[in-house]
Chains A and B, each alone.
Chain A
């Protein structure tokens, strides 16, 4: 199957700083990328959907000014957590899809963010 990478795999940052997480589709063009957040022992919650070249669509309750998403190319999407707080500590997972329709999404390995 197609491969999605994330960088970094884990990051520790201080409260108030910003952190950028990259999501890359390595062997396919991801017209749509999705960002999820997963708290310990919980399921994945969709945060936002981004289409290449357009603004992201955020799920209800997700602050778009806090979680900045950029999908500048068909192989790269970034999530920036601005002014991070300890409650933002979570596992962030991205996935990519190749287009419209009933399709499999390809998931990245996730990024563990810890805010101290």
Chain B
């Protein structure tokens, strides 16, 4: 079952702009992960943030986690056309099970 909501559901920006996606969830978590999926393809793991962490960086990606608000955000800076994809957050709870949010479809126009 889906635990979280993501917003926006779709986002269209120009190359070079920043893209911010938000994820909210309902239950307590061990960690939260962000994945990327190109159309019709498998998932690529982007970043994992643990419940005791507040912010994490990886290249052009910045993830924040607010456990008090049960929310996370993914920021992609200086976006490129190749960043066009769907982005999913997934919460990791008991048994290492992942529960995915609804996803944000990002379109970066060249």
Partner of B45, one of A42, A93, A104: A104
Scan residues 28-73 of chain B and give those whose CB is less than 8 A from a CB of chain A. Answer: 30-31, 33, 35, 40-45, 48, 50
Q: Which residue of A lies closest to B105 (CB)?
A: A41
Are B103 and A102 neighbours in the complex by a CB distance under 8 Å? no
A54 vs B47: C-alpha distance when bound (angstroms): 31
B33 CB to nearest A CB, Å: 7
A94 CB to nearest B CB, Å: 9
Q: Contacts A43-B101, A43-B103 hold; do A103 and B96 have CB atoms under 8 A apart?
A: yes
A101 vs B92: C-alpha distance when bound (angstroms): 9
Which of B1, B35, B42 has the most CB atoms of chain A within a 10 A radius of its CB? B42
Q: Does B2 contact A (CB under 8 A)?
A: yes
Q: Contacts A43-B101, A49-B95 hold; do A107 and B45 have CB atoms under 8 A apart?
A: yes
Are B2 and A43 neighbours in the complex by a CB distance under 8 Å? yes
What residues of chain A lie closer than 8 Å to B88, measured between beta carbons? 43-44
Determine the interface band of chain A, counting residues with CB < 8 A from chain B. Answer: 20 to 34
Contacts A43-B103, A107-B42 supplied; 7 other A-B pairs, CB < 8 Å: A34-B97, A42-B102, A46-B97, A104-B48, A107-B43, A107-B44, A112-B40
Binding site for A on B (CB under 8 A): 1-2, 30-31, 33, 35, 40-45, 48, 50, 88, 92, 95-103, 105
Instruction: Report 26 cross-chain contacts, Cβ distance below 8 Å, ordered by A residue.
Output: A1-B45, A32-B95, A34-B98, A36-B100, A43-B102, A45-B1, A46-B1, A46-B98, A46-B99, A49-B95, A93-B43, A95-B98, A97-B96, A101-B96, A102-B50, A102-B92, A103-B92, A104-B33, A104-B45, A105-B96, A107-B35, A107-B42, A107-B43, A108-B42, A110-B40, A112-B40
Return the 10 tightest CB-CB contacts between A and B, nearest first.
Answer: A109-B42, A107-B43, A102-B30, A44-B100, A43-B100, A110-B42, A102-B31, A107-B42, A43-B102, A43-B103
